[in-house]
Structure 1
Amino acid sequence: MTLTLPSSADAPDQTEQAVQRIRQHVGEFRPRIGMILGSGLGGLARAIENAIVIPYAALPGFPQSLVEGHAGEVVLGRLGGVELMCMRGRQHFYEGHGTTGMTKAVRTMKRMGCDRLIVTCAAGSLRPELEPGRLVAIKDHINLLPGNPLIGPNDDQIGPRFCSMANAYDKDLRQGVQDVAQALGLPWAEGVYVAFSGPTFETAAEIRMMQVIGGDVVGMSTVPEVISARHCGLRVLAIACITNLGEGIGNEVLSHELTLQYGSMASVDLQRLIVGWFEQQAATAKR
């Protein structure tokens, strides 16, 4: 007797199931932009108008994060005049589910109608001048995670087997946000994000290594989401909120409580920046 494993085609399409369940709540509402909010940054979701909130637990394939600061819910509505699908919280590699924990959620955003994805995250600084509370637009990444969300069988209907990461962090989107930041008087910086597995914070030696290889900020998320987004054709804007100086650079004892504290401080500027950019996008769409 020969046992055969079910093919991916035989498995239930959880992305389509998630879309159908969301449609039961929002009807024909069609978000233009998707957004993922990181540690301590969920407050931005409270600014969404006419919000409809759906817990991740109700959506097949969505992550079940147990990390403090990640609410675990989807919020759909309007922000700055733009239709939005926002995820409050994410799943991380260190939670034990590999690098694919956010892939189906990202693809659901695409299937719901989004053509752009904003990714926000808390991050440590590898440069003394990028102090806690600062916002840094990510312009590229270095993946030190032991994996990639596209490993395994590829669905050509979603994206190509070999996905280019050229302009993964969209230059035009970054320029638009930079214009808004300058108009609001917010300091602007761009940098290369290094993805580290966690859950331990990096050692001083690891921080020095990341500086040598060209990193500017370090975090435990973001990169798998960006890879998944680019694979299915979403343009990406990613903004890191600096919550600490890397080990050996600053004097504070690193902790998740510190991450949440500075994430909350940075979220004030983040909200001004994102709402301003959304208003810019809405005005452009009306022309």
Structure 2
Amino acid sequence: MHDPFELAAEAADFLRRHFDVDRIDLALVLGSGWSSGADQLGESLGEIELGAVPGFSKPVVSGHGGALKLVRTQGGKVAAIFTGRTHYYEGRGVEPVVHGVRTAAKWGAETLVLTNGCGGLNPAWAPGTVVLIGDHINLTSDTPLRGATFIDMSEAYSKRLRELAHTVDPDLPEGVYVQFRGPQYETPAEVRMAGILGGDLVGMSTTLETIAAREAGLEVLGLSLVTNAAAGLSEENLNHAEVLQAGKDAGPRLAGLLAGIVGVL
């Protein structure tokens, strides 16, 4: 079996050759609802299907993209944009989930922007609300770390980057993101539990990537799009198509917000 760090280095070398770009400054992972903004993040330097890059595979979930786009931002930074991610619930283990993060780190990135679509526990956050992730609770019972690898998670999501995001939109709320294993949506009782534990947002991604990013020394900014009220907080049952539609409806605002934030990073 491939060593995950060697595989990430191999993928980074492959991308260096493919794009003829020695190093990148930042990387973005665009989750549900966020991919529509990829074309507004800067001048295109090229694109490749993720499935063609060592260690990556094609997306398996409807509504999730599968390309890596390279752009030069308004601030002159080179950014790698992953329009898809491997989810933990796909059952491939934790290494494929964090492979993009480790590849970006091996390619020279120092900053990582993680985005997702999620359920919201705060009734004031209507579908379409963007929330800065201030902290997380990992309920997957897993980690990308191996052995006695002790990583400080006191500031998993960079306070400095959150303050920069607030210069673009001072009204962005902050919350605690809770990752469940999935792929089933959370039950109303699980949502109540998440709230009791201190959670504001529930979803199926992001925390494992953040742990791997902190291990690699990356500064992390997390952004959640509330696509629906979490189970039990609305009379409606959860529906994947409606989650995708909420992301699509929020697309123009997300694109502008993300472009603004990337411009100051």
The TM-score bracket by the shorter chain reads over 0.9
Distance 2:197 2:181 in 1: 17
Distance 1:51 1:93 in 2: 30
Other-structure match for 1:166: 154
Q: How far off its partner does 1:146 sit?
A: 2.5
Distance 1:127 1:21 in 2: 43
- Equivalences for 1:231-242 in 2 at 5 Å? 231-242=215-226
Q: How far off its partner does 1:112 sit?
A: 1.2
Q: How far off its partner does 1:270 sit?
A: 2.2
Q: How far off its partner does 1:79 sit?
A: 2.8
Q: How far off its partner does 1:280 sit?
A: 2.6
Instruction: Give unpaired runs (5+ residues) of structure 1.
Output: 1-5, 155-160, 282-287
Of the three residues 205, 210, 217, the one matched with 1:226 is 210
Which letter maps to 2:35? G
Alignment CA distance shift 1:40-1:231 (3 Å): same
Distance 1:32 1:172 in 2: 17
Other-structure match for 1:134: 129
Other-structure match for 1:263: 247
The alignment of Structure 1 onto Structure 2 pairs a total of residues equal to 263
Which runs of structure 1 show a deviation greater than 4 angstroms over 4 or more consecutive aligned residues?
Answer: none
2:56 is paired with a residue whose SS is coil
- Equivalences for 1:176-215 in 2 at 5 Å? 176-182=164-170, 187-215=171-199
Distance 2:254 2:206 in 1: 17
Of the three residues 62, 66, 69, the one matched with 1:68 is 62
Residues 1:144 and 2:128 are matched in the alignment: no
Q: How far off its partner does 1:14 sit?
A: 1.5
Residues 1:253 and 2:248 are matched in the alignment: no
- Identical aligned pairs, as a percentage? 38
Q: How far off its partner does 1:12 sit?
A: 9.0
- Equivalences for 1:42-53 in 2 at 5 Å? 42-47=35-40, 48-53=42-47
CA contact (8 A) 2:179 2:206 kept: yes
Deviations 1:210-262 (A, max 9, x none): 11111000000000110010000000000000000011111222111111111
What's the C-alpha RMSD, in Å, of the aligned pairs? Answer: 1.9
Residues 1:118 and 2:113 are matched in the alignment: yes
Other-structure match for 2:99: 104
Q: How far off its partner does 1:209 sit?
A: 0.8
Distance 2:221 2:156 in 1: 9
Other-structure match for 1:78: 72
Q: How far off its partner does 1:49 sit?
A: 1.8
Which letter maps to 2:159? K
Distance 2:207 2:49 in 1: 24
Distance 1:31 1:75 in 2: 12
